């Protein structure tokens, strides 16, 4: 894990020239300020909207369509950022002065709300059957039931999610560039990218990266210190399942639910409208599409497996010292993707490993890049389940793999499947790794979309986006069907 982060840096540092001086311009300092400002604000908004959505989804999950929304929101991550942004421009561009801070915030909220909501929703769902049985016997009022049951769970998720989203927005590239409307609204990441890829100036890149790290770690520690010190009484609370009554409050809740859903699903609507065009049939007969689908499937599946494997072992090894593992995991986001990819590129050359089949390199690097997300999907359930199962495990004298298989797996299964699906999907949406290590014969759907756009073929790009979406739906559906089929009857 540590190696995953350190190795590319060794690659980069081999190009570092210590004696070079660094010019800290006015522009850089204003960018640093703006980056911090927009990322904190974006994270705050995403978390407010995401928590609200998760709560509403959980409250009304007796409805079939609500269940569908809850399950499918993860698919939203897979759309290439640029397509999401086109969707945003089409839907909101006419109603808002979109370019500037407003645009960036709208973009980041739409991009990150599903992430927040999916994770919190899962935690809210992650309550043992025994608790559910007990909870029905209690009758609390709406507000007090929220404070007693949902709020502690939401609150427990907030610190890590806040850090995650802040970091994502901190290194945001395309959304900030396009929706920001000009270099006034930019991120350090853009300057880092420019230094690494264009001006070939590794000194500047590393210096900027160094600032990025300092700031992000400050955010991490300030935030965690303030929030982690509170005692969460999550495990002593009981979950109350309310049945749906046609009250004004419930109708209002449903309305809000639909509204948020409409907003975050708007890019999908956009792609459905745009993707069904006269090029679609032609594309289905092309060889490049099927090759891309095949590559995407392979990369998705193995990156998903690999990242689950890494995160699970990391959790087992370090779940008593979460600070260390978390800071390691999160630093994967703030080490800018461009620097990481270039670092690996240099390193693989130095080690003469470029003869490795590119698909293996792509799978390995992708599984590293998605670790922060895999971690966030798995960790909350893991901590809860492990804590609850510790006593049983000790009394039954079960350790290691046998403990995992007999008592932890049945209760972690849902989270594992979701984490696997999301990690896979995120690997499918990768553009950085594939553009550095992909070859002509190794192109993914996401990369194909960009390639098509780069050759005037906008309609084809929309169609392939639609196909990518359908691919992800099927992937999710099959993964759940196949993996959930084996029932474990322990309880």
Partner 1 sequence: MKTKILSIIFILITISSISAKEVLVVGTYDSFSAEWGPGPVIETEFEKICNCDVQYVSTSQAGTLANEIFLKDKDVILGVEMHEFDYKSENWNIYDYGYFSFIYNEETLKDIPNSFEELINHKNLKIVVQDPRTSPVGLGLLRWMKLTHPDNFSSILKKFNNNVLTYTPGWSEAYGIFLEGKADLVLSYSTSPFYHQEYEDEYKYKAIEFTDGHLVTKEIVYVRPDSEKQNLGKEFIEFMMRDNIQKIIAQMNIMYPARENDNNIPDRMRELKKPKEIKYDNFLEAEPLIKIWLEVASS
Task: By CB under 8 A, name the binding residues for partner 1.
Answer: 27, 30, 82, 85-86, 89-90, 93, 99, 173-174, 177-184, 186, 190-191, 193-194, 197-200, 286-288, 342, 345-346, 349, 354-357, 431, 435-436, 438-440, 447, 450-458, 461
Determine the 3-state secondary structure of 230 from DSSP: coil
Rounded to the nearest whole angstrom, what is the least distance from the CB of residue 391 to partner 1 in the complex?
36
Rounded to the nearest whole angstrom, what is the least distance from the CB of residue 452 to partner 1 in the complex?
8
Whether 369 contacts 304, CB under 8 Å: no
Place of tokens 């610190």: 159
And the tokens for 399? Answer: 């350790």
Rounded to the nearest whole angstrom, what is the least distance from the CB of residue 192 to partner 1 in the complex?
11
CA angle 211, 213, 218 (to 5 degrees): 100
Determine the 3-state secondary structure of 439 from DSSP: strand
Instruction: Give the residue with the Cβ less far from partner 1, 72 or 191.
Output: 191
Instruction: Give the residue with the Cβ less far from partner 1, 95 or 198.
Output: 198
Which of 379, 112, 417 shows the shortest CA–CA distance to 263?
A: 112
Instruction: Give the residue with the Cβ less far from partner 1, 283 or 332.
Output: 283
Integer Cα distance of 201 and 419 in angstroms? 37
Integer Cα distance of 90 and 26 in angstroms? 35
H or E, element range at 46: helix 26-59
And the tokens for 57? Answer: 């989804």
Instruction: Give the residue with the Cβ less far from partner 1, 195 or 261.
Output: 195
Instruction: Give the residue with the Cβ less far from partner 1, 4 or 283.
Output: 283
Integer Cα distance of 156 and 430 in angstroms? 29
Instruction: Give the residue with the Cβ less far from partner 1, 342 or 479.
Output: 342
Determine the 3-state secondary structure of 442 from DSSP: strand
And the tokens for 437? Answer: 């290590």
Instruction: Give the residue with the Cβ less far from partner 1, 284 or 357.
Output: 357
Q: What is the largest CA-CA distance in the chain?
A: 71
Instruction: Give the residue with the Cβ less far from partner 1, 13 or 227.
Output: 13
Integer Cα distance of 36 and 27 in angstroms? 14
Instruction: Give the residue with the Cβ less far from partner 1, 417 or 452.
Output: 452
Integer Cα distance of 471 and 296 in angstroms? 9
Distinct helix (H) and strand (E) counts, the chain: 23, 0
Within 10 angstroms of residue 16's Cβ, the number of other Cβ atoms is 13
Integer Cα distance of 318 and 220 in angstroms? 18
Burial of 258 (0-12, 13-18, 19+ CB in 10 A): middle
Instruction: Give the residue with the Cβ less far from partner 1, 161 or 442.
Output: 442
DSSP 242: P
């Amino acid at each position: 894990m540590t190696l995953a982060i350190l190795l590319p840096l060794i690659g980069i540092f081999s190009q570092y020239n210590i004696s070079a001086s660094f010019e800290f311009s006015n522009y850089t300092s204003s960018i640093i300020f703006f980056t911090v400002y927009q990322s904190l604000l974006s994270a705050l908004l995403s978390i407010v909207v995401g928590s609200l959505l998760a709560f509403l989804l959980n409250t009304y999950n007796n409805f079939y369509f609500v269940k569908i929304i809850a399950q499918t929101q993860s698919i939203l991550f897979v759309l290439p950022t640029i397509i999401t942004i086109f969707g945003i421009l089409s839907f909101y561009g006419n109603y808002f002065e979109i370019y500037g801070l407003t645009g960036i915030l709208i973009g980041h909220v739409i991009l990150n709300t599903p992430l927040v909501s999916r994770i919190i929703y899962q935690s809210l769902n992650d309550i043992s059957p025994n608790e559910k049985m007990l909870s029905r016997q209690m009758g609390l009022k709406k507000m007090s039931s929220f404070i007693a049951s949902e709020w502690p769970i939401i609150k427990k998720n907030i610190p890590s999610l806040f850090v995650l989203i802040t970091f994502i927005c901190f290194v945001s590239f395309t959304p900030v560039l396009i929706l920001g409307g000009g270099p006034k609204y930019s991120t350090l990441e853009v300057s880092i990218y420019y230094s690494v890829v264009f001006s070939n100036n590794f000194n500047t890149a590393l210096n900027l990266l160094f600032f990025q790290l300092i700031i992000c770690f400050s955010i991490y520690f300030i935030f965690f210190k303030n929030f982690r010190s509170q005692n969460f009484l999550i495990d002593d609370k009981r979950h109350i399942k309310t049945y749906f009554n046609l009250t004004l409050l419930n109708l209002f809740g449903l309305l809000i639910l639909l509204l948020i859903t409409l907003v975050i699903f708007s890019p999908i609507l956009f792609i459905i409208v745009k993707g069904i065009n006269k090029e679609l049939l032609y594309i289905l007969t092309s060889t490049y599409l099927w090759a891309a689908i095949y590559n995407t499937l392979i990369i998705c599946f193995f990156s998903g497996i690999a990242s689950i494997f890494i995160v699970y072992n990391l959790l087992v090894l370090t779940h008593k010292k979460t600070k260390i593992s978390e800071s390691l995991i999160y630093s994967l986001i703030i080490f800018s993707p461009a620097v990481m990819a270039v670092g690996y590129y240099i390193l693989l050359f130095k080690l003469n490993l470029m003869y490795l089949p590119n698909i293996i390199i792509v799978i390995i690097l992708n599984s590293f890049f998605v670790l922060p997300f895999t971690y966030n999907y798995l960790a909350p359930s893991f901590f809860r389940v492990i804590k609850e199962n510790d006593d049983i495990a000790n009394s039954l004298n079960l350790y290691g793999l046998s403990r995992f298989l007999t008592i932890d797996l049945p209760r972690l299964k849902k989270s594992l499947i979701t984490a696997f699906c999301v990690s896979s999907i995120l690997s499918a949406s990768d553009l950085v790794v594939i553009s550095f290590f992909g070859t002509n014969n190794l192109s993914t759907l996401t990369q194909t979309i960009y390639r098509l756009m780069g050759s005037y073929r906008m309609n084809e790009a929309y169609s392939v986006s639609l196909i990518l979406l359908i691919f992800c739906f099927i992937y999710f559906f099959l993964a759940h069907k196949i993996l959930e089929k084996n029932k474990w009857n322990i309880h």
